[in-house]
Amino acid sequence: MTREPQLLGQTVVLIGGSAGIGLETARLARAEGAEVVLAARNPERLEQAARDVGARSTAAFDATDAGALKQFFDGLGPIDHVLVTGPGPSYVPLLEMNAEQVRDALADHVVMALDVARGAAPKMPPGGTLVILGMGPIGSMACRVAHHLNDCRVIGVDIVPERLQRAREMCSDVIDMNLDDPVEVVRESTDGRGADAVIDAVGMEAHGSPIATAAQTAAGFLPPPMARVMMKNAGVDRLAALNTAIATVRRGGTISLSGVYGGAADPINMMTLFDKQIQLRMGQANVKRWVPDILPLLTDDDPLGTESFATHRLPLLAAPEAYEKFQKKQDGMIKVVLTP
């Protein structure tokens, strides 16, 4: 069975591309359809390697020289991947190292790598895929912030038509869960890798768990202390959204739980979390931490669209009816501002 080359149309830069691992990586990248740019110090060896693999261009310079490195990146067009293999190791027992050797080792292996990252970043396409599960107010605002930062592709997922409609204005793509399986769609659109990050903005509101639905309904009828116990012990195993997040995120990716979770009895898929080396972030919003970042965005330009964020503005007296409509997803009610 033949398969499509994986790097067609992409540019791979290999610093240390004239020998060893760098050269072999260049060869593999070429076999996958990439254009390669090779850099190393020795010009003859570099030209030989370039002929060998059919490199697009070469640059002979010492990558520990920050000025030369900057000049190299400034002269490049867009790039997709960078690999640094040189310089070689410095095998000296730690206790025998003098200060100069320590400085050299750090310059070769830490400072140079940082300079490469700094030089390459502006030449690389905005990165990654962010999936947001749940296009309620939180998911919708997360989508707006990602759109404002403009540094990734954002896919919004929901089942409510009005929410999907709003999401279309800010997200790069939307997935209607009534029609498509987000896990499948995201996998297909990320060459099988999965999303780099998933925000679960659904939490306990997730559809798909009859036990939790019953528990939440029951808790609504119980006096508060009993309701609290019930919610803590039985009412919160609505893991449909979290399981979707676990399946959708790529290996080593990040899941951020903004949807509220509680209780202790949830059977979380620890095996997949462990196997996929997923990073989990969660917790109450640290509002004060973000105030200095958010306040400057509340300007007349209104980049996050806060002025039009509320779908309804109602008097306080209309609150009970509004809550009911909100819960039943009626009247396009997504975010309500109550005016006292």
Instruction: Choose which of 88, 125, 127, 192 interacts with ligand NAP (CB under 6 A).
Output: 88
Which residue in 58, 62, 87 sits closest to 75, CA to CA? 58
Instruction: Choose which of 10, 12, 13, 18 interacts with ligand NAP (CB under 6 A).
Output: 18
How far is it, in rounded angstroms, from Cα 17 to Cα 84?
8
Residue 185, C-beta contacts closer than 8 angstroms, at least 6 positions apart? 155, 175
Both tokens assigned to 87: 């310089």
Answer yes or no: are the C-beta atoms of 9 and 15 closer than 8 Å: no
Both tokens assigned to 225: 């202390």
How far is it, in rounded angstroms, from Cα 141 to Cα 308?
12
Comparison of 80 and 108: residue with beta carbon closer to ligand NAP: 108
Answer yes or no: are the C-beta atoms of 237 and 267 closer than 8 Å: yes
Smallest distance from the beta carbon of 303 to ligand NAP, in angstroms?
Answer: 42
Smallest distance from the beta carbon of 100 to ligand NAP, in angstroms?
Answer: 17
Q: DSSP secondary-structure letter at 137?
A: H
Q: Quick check: 322 binds ligand NAP (CB under 6 A)?
A: no
Instruction: Choose which of 85, 140, 190, 248 interacts with ligand NAP (CB under 6 A).
Output: 85
How far is it, in rounded angstroms, from Cα 239 to Cα 269?
10
User: Looking at 35-43, 73-81, 154-162, 261-269, which segment touches ligand NAP (CB under 6 A)?
Assistant: 35-43
Which residue in 291, 256, 255 sits closest to 273, CA to CA? 255
Burial of 11 (0-12, 13-18, 19+ CB in 10 A): buried
Burial of 26 (0-12, 13-18, 19+ CB in 10 A): buried
Q: Quick check: 119 binds ligand NAP (CB under 6 A)?
A: no
Instruction: Choose which of 62, 184, 302, 321 interacts with ligand NAP (CB under 6 A).
Output: 62
User: Looking at 81-89, 188-196, 197-205, 317-325, which segment touches ligand NAP (CB under 6 A)?
Assistant: 81-89
Instruction: Choose which of 7, 13, 15, 177 interacts with ligand NAP (CB under 6 A).
Output: 15
Q: Quick check: 69 binds ligand NAP (CB under 6 A)?
A: no
Q: Quick check: 186 binds ligand NAP (CB under 6 A)?
A: no
**Residues linked to residue 98 through DSSP beta bridges, in sequence order:** none
Q: Quick check: 27 binds ligand NAP (CB under 6 A)?
A: no
Smallest distance from the beta carbon of 12 to ligand NAP, in angstroms?
Answer: 15
Q: Quick check: 269 binds ligand NAP (CB under 6 A)?
A: no
Q: Quick check: 33 binds ligand NAP (CB under 6 A)?
A: no
Q: Quick check: 86 binds ligand NAP (CB under 6 A)?
A: yes
- Residue 172's CB is within 10 A of a number of other CB atoms, namely 15
User: Looking at 79-87, 127-135, 160-168, 246-254, which segment touches ligand NAP (CB under 6 A)?
Assistant: 79-87
User: Looking at 60-68, 250-258, 288-296, 302-310, which segment touches ligand NAP (CB under 6 A)?
Assistant: 60-68
Q: Quick check: 16 binds ligand NAP (CB under 6 A)?
A: yes
User: Looking at 20-28, 193-201, 202-210, 293-301, which segment touches ligand NAP (CB under 6 A)?
Assistant: 20-28
Number of residues that bind ligand NAP (CB under 6 A): 21
Which residue in 37, 29, 35 sits closest to 9, CA to CA? 35
Q: Quick check: 19 binds ligand NAP (CB under 6 A)?
A: yes
Comparison of 85 and 140: residue with beta carbon closer to ligand NAP: 85
Q: Quick check: 203 binds ligand NAP (CB under 6 A)?
A: no
Answer yes or no: are the C-beta atoms of 40 and 46 closer than 8 Å: yes
Both tokens assigned to 264: 């202790």
Query: Per-residue x/- mask for ligand NAP, residues 40 to 59, rule CB under 6 A?
Result: xxx--x--------------
Concatenating the DSSP letter of every residue in 205-256 gives G-SS-HHHHHHHHHHHHS-HHHHHHHHHHTTT---HHHHHHHHHEEEEEEEE
Residues forming contacts to ligand NAP in the complex (CB under 6 A) are 15-22, 39-42, 45, 62-64, 85-89
